[in-house]
Amino acid sequence: MTGPARQGYRDVVLTVPVTVPYRRYSIEPAHWWFAAALRALSQQSGISHKEMDGLCAASFSLAPDSTIALTQHLGMSVRWLDTVALGGASAIASIRRAARAVEQGDADVVACIAADTNHIDSFRQNLSNFSRFAQDAVYPVGAGGANASFAHLTRNYMSRFGARREDFGRICIAQRTNALENPNALMRKALTMEAYLSAPPIAEPVHLFDCVMPCAGADAFLVMREDTARAQGLEFVRLTGSIERHHAFPQDPVQERGGWARDVDDLFAMAGTSPGGIDLLQSYDDYPVIVMMQLEDLGFCAKGEAPEFVRAHDLTYAGDFPHNTGGGQLSTGQAGASGGHLGIVETLRQLLGQAGARQVAGARRGMALGFGMINYDRGLSSGAVILEAAA
């Protein structure tokens, strides 16, 4: 079925990137992290939380409350509300929904917030209730968590395309280099190839530094019209393109591509650019094999060529292909649903010139990606946005 072409965005901007510093563990509930993020949005924007008339929230640990309950907890009265339960793809979906809301006048200022806590036993509890698939087919046989699933995908990718552990290591090491310049990153010790290769196995061929570290934290930003941002005196970046896709290739026996591959042409057409026009890339990096899939699916290289691509390029913030310039989840930590928002706030900081020592010189256009809701053999949700610095 063929429908009308995707429509671009009219004067939709993102502003005020916020990170509530991550912690390995926290006794605070998710609500506390949401409140801290909302407070920072208000303080940095000069807009009272009571004047924000839209809220889009993502969390794995907010239950039994929903986003509706947050409005009461946080003292907000909004005319547009959404809960996005797409894991690492939540930020992309939040932007897309919020953008259309402000375009149509359903909201003026939308706060997009992802927050999760992490108690000592939170990960096990989340896993046991993650999905019916997990409850029935994965958790009961001891294959708990994403490690076994991504080991399956990684082994298949290595077999099909000749990737080596050293290739995945180049991604992890570059991101650790970037994280050393990010005060919000939890991993602050340099990583060498020797340390990467000698790290203990978790689920072969996945080893310790291939895995994200669960933590507590929050990330947030505001979506509004350009005239609203200018009236408030806020620096902003423009939304020029976006895509999302769910369960993209059900015919594939093992996932070797994500939904990006189905919609990449639309993404670049909306934004009026091409892979060569992207100054920095924030991929979703819960495991490095997914980074390689994204490099291929978005057209930075052909399918199966990502191993050679990472061998040929410097992926640090000062390199020829700046990638996950704040360290990504692999070195910053994965604060639940906030993992998908991490790349958005880092892209905003880069395009606003707020990245400090890790600033990418001359960055004007950035791409951020999302990937989420893993079942045993594939992740079901994927998305991407292209953002441009204001002239």
E-strand stretches of the chain? 12-23, 54-58, 80-83, 109-116, 201-203, 206-207, 216-225, 237-246, 280-282, 365-375, 378-389
Question: What's the confidence (pLDDT) of residue 2?
Answer: 67
The answer for 235, left when phi > 0, alpha when psi is -120 to 50, beta otherwise, is: beta
Query: Would you give the distance in Å from CA 197 to the centre of its chain?
Result: 26
DSSP character for 8? -
For residue 252, count other CB atoms closer than 10 A to its CB. 11
φ/ψ of 297, rounded to 5, equals: -65, -30
Whole-angstrom distance, CA of residue 95 vs CA of residue 77: 20
pLDDT tens sequence for the chain (391 residues): 567 778 889 999 999 999 999 999 999 999 999 999 999 999 999 999 999 999 999 999 998 999 999 999 999 999 999 999 999 999 999 999 999 999 999 999 999 999 999 987 766 666 666 677 777 767 777 666 788 889 999 999 999 999 999 999 999 999 999 999 999 999 999 999 999 999 999 999 999 999 999 999 999 999 999 999 999 999 999 999 999 999 999 999 999 999 999 999 999 999 999 999 999 999 999 999 999 999 999 999 999 999 999 999 999 999 999 999 999 999 999 999 999 999 999 999 999 999 999 999 999 999 999 999 888 788 999 999 999 999 7
CB–CB of 325/350 below 8 Å?
yes
Amino acid found at 75: G
Cα dihedral sign for 152, 153, 158, 161?
A: positive
Read off the tokens for 88.
């690492």
Cα 160 from Cα 112, distance rounded (Å): 39
369 beta partners = 384
C-alpha to C-alpha distance for 14 and 7, rounded to whole angstroms: 18
Distance (Å, whole) CA 3 – CA 68: 34
Q: How far is Cα 318 from Cα 233, in angstroms, rounded to an integer?
A: 30
Which residues, including other chains, have CB under 8 Å from residue 136's CB and lie 6 or more apart? none
Q: What is the structure's pLDDT at 136?
A: 73
